[in-house]
Amino acid sequence: MDDLNAILVAARDEEERIAETVRALRRAFPDAAVIVADDGSRDATAEQAEAAGALVLRLRRRGKGQALSDAERAAPPGALLLVDADLRGDIAPLLPPRGLRVAAFAERRGGGFGIAKRTARALIRIRSGFDPREPLSGQRSLSAEARAAVFPLAPGFGAETRMTIDAVLAGHAVDELELPLEHRATGRDARGFLHRGRQLVDAVFAAGPLRVNYRGARLPLVGWTVALHEPLVTAIGLADDRWSGEERGFAAHLRSRRTTGVLKLVGIPLVAFARTRSVSGALLVALSANALNQLDTKPGRALKAYIVAALALDAPLGLAVLLAPYDLREMTMLGDGGANGLGAMLGWSSVNRFTGRGRWLAIGALAGLTIIGERRSLGDLIERTPVLRELDAWGRVP
């Protein structure tokens, strides 16, 4: 049975309550380190937590899931207890940690109409078969084995939903204990509905496919949303997200023969040819899909390129505009499904816009971009070009 080694608390703008929470945790669990992940607070949360005896990580604002994941990396090995910054009540019954144990509040206070909670509950049931009472509770204990199965967490308020799914799928027991706890509940006002709206969106994204990005954060792949506009090419890209190997570039895929890269190399032109009945149309769509995918190496880069090109080509804009803030803040990733699907959408618009010599000029330009991308990183070229570098970095989390 695991001994509790660390308590993780994600906090943002909690200067009025964090010190009391930390002191209560240190009294109750004197042998455990209390680690507060200050998620970009604009008040004295960090100072109050340190004064109360916590180890504080001062982080840029990234959301609850990423803050807890950063705190977990700083924690010693072993079992963990996760606690909300404004919790009041005795959390000790969650110990000792066995698998994943979740506190269910004995009395409900505040809140909205239960839409976010019901949605999270349904997502967990669909993905894992487990039917939770409290899918969004942040008061949780994890054994060392369950900790390894669920971290890093999904970002934002999707952390708890995905944590439960991952624990069940990894074969760990999930128990819910009703406890007389309380915390500051959101009301039925604009702020409360906005908070629950974010919970709802984050839970939906967290229940889908996830991938670890270049920083080590585990992010939802949202390329499946592009299937609303472009289902076939997006599906081919999603196959690459799911089953891709270590191969990079056309040459490596062709040498390996049976890879998802070869599927894209053959499948996307075939889909385009079937739709356009034109070799030039097939080339234009396939090269557009590949070009945007080559740019999807930093948050927001591919979506910015898509939006600029879509304005010129009169391609659909709504979805890209909605996804861009999440992508730039590293809350989601497009993945190959999204980048290839969006690139194909630019290709269809280009087929409608260009004919004859103009179409072949566009094909030549995209082919040249593909060749350059095979030989060197397009991202490096962007970062070495002053104007492009500034535009590329605009809006991105440092």
Question: What is the SS3 assignment for 58?
Answer: strand
The CA-CA-CA angle for residues 357, 358, 362, to 5°, reads: 115
With contact defined as beta carbons under 8 Å apart, do 325 and 319 qualify? Answer: no
Least confident window among 3-12, 46-55, 212-221: 212-221
The conformation of residue 52, written as its DSSP 8-state character, comes to: T
Residues linked to residue 80 through DSSP beta bridges, in sequence order: 6, 142
The answer to whether residue 391 scores a pLDDT higher than 60 is yes
With contact defined as beta carbons under 8 Å apart, do 185 and 201 qualify? Answer: no
Rounded to whole angstroms, the Cα distance separating 124 from 34 reads 29
Banded pLDDT at 243 (limits 50, 70, 90): confident
Overall CATH class of domain 4-210:
alpha beta
Q: What is the pTM of this model?
A: 0.81
Question: First-to-last CA distance in the chain?
Answer: 41
Q: Cis peptide leading into 135, omega within 30 of 0?
A: no
The answer to whether residue 174 scores a pLDDT higher than 50 is yes
Averaged pLDDT of the chain: 89
Q: Residue 187: what pLDDT? A: 60
With contact defined as beta carbons under 8 Å apart, do 8 and 80 qualify? Answer: yes
Which is higher by pLDDT, 78 or 261? 78
Q: Residue 324: what pLDDT? A: 93
Percent of the chain with pLDDT strictly greater than 90: 63
Rounded to whole angstroms, the Cα distance separating 290 from 264 reads 9
Banded pLDDT at 74 (limits 50, 70, 90): very high
The answer to whether residue 166 scores a pLDDT higher than 90 is yes
**244-300: per-residue pLDDT in tens?**
766 565 555 556 666 777 888 889 999 999 999 999 999 999 999 999 999 998 999
Percent of the chain with pLDDT strictly greater than 70: 92
Residue boundaries of the structural domains of the chain: 4-210, 222-393
Q: Residue 252: what pLDDT? A: 59
Q: Residue 378: what pLDDT? A: 85
Which is higher by pLDDT, 1 or 225? 225
Mean pLDDT to the nearest integer, 192-199:
77
The answer to whether residue 216 scores a pLDDT higher than 90 is no
Mean pLDDT to the nearest integer, 207-215:
85
Banded pLDDT at 111 (limits 50, 70, 90): low
Q: Residue 288: what pLDDT? A: 95
Positive or negative torsion for Cα 171, 172, 176, 182 = negative
The conformation of residue 99, written as its DSSP 8-state character, comes to: S
Rounded to whole angstroms, the Cα distance separating 285 from 272 reads 6
Q: Residue 75: what pLDDT? A: 95
Q: Residue 1: what pLDDT? A: 43
Q: What contacts 335, CB < 8 A, 6 or more positions away?
A: 209, 211, 221, 222, 223, 237, 238, 241, 296
Banded pLDDT at 197 (limits 50, 70, 90): confident
Pairing mode, strands 174-179 and 140-142 = unpaired
Least confident window among 67-81, 146-160, 179-193, 300-314: 179-193
Mean pLDDT to the nearest integer, 11-35:
94
Mean pLDDT to the nearest integer, 347-370:
93
The answer to whether residue 2 scores a pLDDT higher than 90 is no
Positive or negative torsion for Cα 243, 247, 253, 258 = negative
Q: Residue 194: what pLDDT? A: 79
The answer to whether residue 368 scores a pLDDT higher than 60 is yes
